[in-house]
Amino acid sequence: MFSAIFNTLGNCFKIPELKSRILFTLAVLAICRLSSLIPTPGLNGAALVDYFQKQGGSANSLMGMYSLFTGGGFERCAVGSLGIMPYISATIIIQLLTAVVPFLSKLAREEGGRSKIVQYGRVLTLLLCVGQGAVMAIGWENASTVFPNFVGDLVYHPGWWYRIQTTIILTTGTMLLMWLGEQITERGIGNGISLVITIGILARLPAAAQGLLDMFIPKGHGAETGFMFFHGIALIGLLAVVIGGVIAVTQAQRKIPVQYAQRAVGRKVFSGSSSFMPLRVNYAGVMPVIFAQAILMFPAMILQQLGARYEKKFLMEIANELQRGSAIYLTLYGLMILFFSYFWVATQFNELQIADDMKKSGGYIPGVRPGNATSDFLHKTMTRITLAGAIFLTVIAVIPILLNEAMRIPYNVAQFFGGTSLLIMVGVMLDTMRQMESHLLMRHYDGFLKKGRIRGRF
């Protein structure tokens, strides 16, 4: 199997166009990594790195999750500290508004409307960068308040000039990452924005591999060493099972048969044909997990700060019950993933428009009447398969928390066994391999799978 993969990768470099695209993508991703390593002028990034290390990567905080998506740029006070997240946030906001604002929904259906919506997203990204950059600059200036138990100062020369300078630098860093991601999408291979996020997550892989190696070969000898060795083997097996499950469910889809009747266009008569409509099981992707994580971080933080400021013990107790890993947290986490899975499908999957377009093109689902009956059928079918996808997302999202809390596995290792990290990496890798395979098959080379192409979409 591995020899076939290596042969396929070798074939990729035999095609000049694909070779240039791959090399261009790697070069641009290397530049993106530099943005998370170059420190912002006027800041003591080493002090914040030391703080995050003492906090165990701050995995249980909103700041730790944000640092994950910035490839560690936030904890280094780098020029790319905002990462690509403002662009992702702007894209999500525009997508949600398109589903509820008539002007945007109409614009999306017009010719050239998508390009205008993309422009709106870029403008919104700029505004979010300015706002988040200013907030981040002020937060670094008041480090002892924002970061619990932080001692010292991050800013060498605080003041308005520092805030303006830092806001401009952080905004420029994000806009540069956005432009580089678009260049990868246009001239490289894969989805550029997704690859920028993925390369930031993969940057943490060496540290996770070292942590896993320490579990394989712990200090000491005797029976404990043997036990830990088999413990590590069990973790490797669990990782293989989880990755296989994520790949299977990511590509899983319900194929709805569609029949097209015979129709005449001018003097030409087109005979009837049959096709299918793929409905993805995991239609919402990783978005429900990100929403649930982000929202659940705020109540505990707010209650903890209020309890400490006003010396209210019951607020501190509620905040402790909402901490990551508690039974209440896991219950709310799972329910919110279920809710946001259906919420995302409800805003992005328009069964009425699909049924209307199918009716106009002369298509119908066998055994289902066109029009309202088709939209009702699609709604019921999507509701059922969304439940399966939501349950899958909940299980995958909970695995790292259980490994970290119950088995005391370091979170920098546990995060690669599920959650947003694994979902994003698997989805992006599948999409990139799919694009590479299309180039190979066009030139009569074998793809990554001998018995068929990589199917489905992420």
Q: Which domains are present in the chain?
A: 13-203 (1.10.3370.10)
Q: State which amino acid sits at residue 162.
A: Y
pLDDT at 170: 92
What is the reported pLDDT for 171? 93
pLDDT given for residue 63 in this prediction: 67
User: What is residue 416's DSSP assignment?
Assistant: G
pLDDT at residue 64, as a whole number: 65
454 is written with which tokens? 């990589």
**What is residue 256's DSSP assignment?**
E
Distance in angstroms (rounded) separating the CA atoms of residues 62 and 64: 5
pTM of the model: 0.79
Give first-to-last CA distance, the chain, whole Å: 24
Taking 3-state DSSP, the helix, strand and coil percentages for the chain, each rounded to the nearest 5, stand at: 70, 5, 25
At a CB cut-off of 8 Å and minimum separation 6, what does 116 contact?
A: 107
Place of tokens 């074998």: 446
For 77, list phi and psi in degrees, rounded to 5: 55, 45
Which residues of the chain carry a pLDDT beneath 70? 1-6, 55-65, 215-229, 262-272, 304-305, 308-311, 325, 444-458
| Under 8 Å between Cβ of 158 and 144 | no
Helix, coil or strand: residue 265 = strand
Residue ranges with strand state E in 337-444: 363-364
Residue 451 is predicted with a pLDDT of 45
Which residues partner with 257 through β-bridges? 276
Q: What are phi and psi of 96, to 5 degrees?
A: -65, -40
Cα(57)–Cα(196) distance, integer angstroms: 21
Q: Please tell me the predicted confidence (pLDDT) of residue 60.
A: 46
Tokens of 89: 């946030």
Residue 44 Cα distances to 51, 52, 129, 140, 171, angstroms: 12, 13, 22, 10, 19
Per-residue pLDDT at 19: 84
Classify burial at 400, counting beta carbons within 10 Å of its beta carbon; exposed 0-12, middle 13-18, buried 19 or more: buried
366: alpha, beta or left, given left = phi > 0 and alpha = psi -120 to 50? beta
CA-to-CA dists, residue 252 to 146, 350, 458, angstroms: 43, 20, 10
Question: Given this model, what pLDDT does residue 237 score?
Answer: 83
Q: Report yes or no: 171 and 133 within 8 Å, Cβ to Cβ.
A: yes
- The per-residue pLDDT for range 409-440, each reduced to its tens digit, is 777 777 788 777 888 888 888 888 888 888 77
Structure-block tokens of residue 198: 């993925």
